[in-house]
Structure formats: structure tokens, C-alpha cells
């Protein structure tokens, strides 16, 4: 029942997206690109969130992640990932992602298919980049990511699901991301390393 509820909620929230013409018009759990993280959390709380500071990058952006039980009441997603510039005292968001946990590959594929269908309807004038590829974090090459990416003028909306191999200790989840062109370019450059 929860999955059906999630799919219905995601579809209803996507209907307003089709008329949006600015990446900042898109929200995930009430949070948009261009918002200040300080509108939702204080600095002390922000510093408690999981981050990716120890992974290779040029740290142009700081990536943080938190679950739905960490002060932000989420209705659809089980957690969020956000990007902001570490030197920005206003903590302006440049990427907003939400993820939905699923118990297995079949559940994830079902959720992915439903959201993808809704995105195809919402962005019928946009030809999405749909592909599968090996996830870079799994050196065995057995973890496969499925992605649909919808390019807009000032960024993109993407949906992803990685079917992690048994050697990787990651949970199954479907992720919806709102990205600026700047964060897309940063991620494409191997997080500023290349």
C-alpha cells in the first residue's frame, strides 16, 4: 500500500512540473535548488549529517545526506541528498535529491518505471537520455545503474536506480535528482578531479 501511495504522490507532484520553466520551480519534499539550507536546518544540525568529504573530489560542492527522521518530515522520500558550496555562508542548494528505499530489485524497478512514466508525460517535449551503465563505485563491474535524464535549459531532472552487486553493502533505492548545469558539469568531471 505504501508503494502505491508513493507512486500516486509522485505523479501528483510531477503534474505541476510540466509548466515549470526554471529548475528552481521543482521541489523535493518542499526543498528546491536555490533555497538556503539554513531555511530548514541550523548549522549545528547540518554538521551532524553524513557527508562525502572523505571521497575524492575538489570539494567545489559539499554533499550531505540525511534520512526522514532527521528533523525534516518527509512524505514521499526516505531520505535526501543535497549539494552546497562549502565556502557559501548562505548554504545555497545546487542539487536536491530524494531517495525511496525498496526491499528488492523488483520493487525498485516497479517504482522506477512508474516515476519514469510520469516524467515522460510531464516532459513530453524533452527527449530523455535513458541508459544503463556499470556503477563506478563497484570495481567488480557487477553493479548496474539504470538512469533516465531529462535535460532542461538550466539543469536536469534525473531518476536513477542501481542494482548493487552482492559485494557492495548498499541499500536498494530509487533516486530522483534536480541538478543545476554547474553540478552536472562537476559530477561529469569526476567531481572536479579530471
pLDDT of residue 61: 98
pLDDT of residue 16: 47
Tens-place pLDDT, residues 133-163: 999 889 999 999 999 999 998 999 999 999 9
pLDDT of residue 69: 75
pLDDT of residue 12: 41
Geometric angle at alpha carbon 58, from 54 and 59, rounded to 5°: 65
> Can you tell me which residue has the cell 539543469?
155
pLDDT of residue 20: 55
pLDDT of residue 9: 47
pLDDT of residue 73: 82
Sign of CA dihedral 44, 32, 86, 90: negative
pLDDT of residue 10: 52
Residues of the chain short of pLDDT 50, as ranges, are 1-9, 11-12, 14-19
pLDDT of residue 41: 94
Share of the chain above pLDDT 70, in %: 88
Counting other chains too, the contacts that 81-86 makes at CB distance below 8 Å and 24 or more residues apart are: 81/175, 81/177, 82/31, 82/37, 83/183, 84/37, 85/60, 85/61, 86/59, 86/61, 86/62
pLDDT of residue 18: 46
- pTM (predicted TM-score): 0.86
Amino acid at each position: 500500500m505504501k508503494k502505491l501511495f508513493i507512486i500516486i504522490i509522485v505523479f501528483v507532484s510531477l503534474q505541476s512540473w510540466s509548466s515549470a520553466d526554471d529548475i528552481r520551480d521543482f521541489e523535493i519534499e518542499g526543498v528546491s535548488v536555490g533555497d538556503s539550507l539554513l531555511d530548514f536546518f541550523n548549522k549545528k544540525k547540518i554538521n551532524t549529517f553524513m557527508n562525502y568529504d572523505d571521497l575524492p573530489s575538489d570539494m567545489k560542492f559539499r554533499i550531505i545526506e540525511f534520512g526522514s527522521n532527521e528533523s525534516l518530515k518527509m512524505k514521499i522520500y526516505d531520505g535526501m541528498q543535497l549539494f552546497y558550496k562549502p565556502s557559501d555562508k548562505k548554504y545555497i542548494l545546487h542539487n536536491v535529491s530524494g531517495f525511496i528505499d525498496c526491499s528488492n530489485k523488483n520493487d525498485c524497478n516497479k517504482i522506477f518505471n512508474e516515476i519514469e512514466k510520469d516524467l515522460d508525460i510531464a516532459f513530453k517535449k524533452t527527449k530523455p537520455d535513458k541508459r544503463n551503465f556499470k556503477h563506478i563505485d563497484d570495481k567488480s563491474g557487477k553493479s548496474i545503474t539504470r538512469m533516465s535524464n531529462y535535460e532542461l535549459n538550466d539543469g536536469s531532472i534525473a531518476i536513477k536506480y542501481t542494482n548493487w552487486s552482492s559485494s557492495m553493502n548498499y541499500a536498494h533505492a530509487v533516486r530522483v535528482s534536480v541538478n543545476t548545469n554547474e553540478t552536472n558539469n562537476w559530477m561529469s568531471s569526476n567531481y572536479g578531479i579530471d
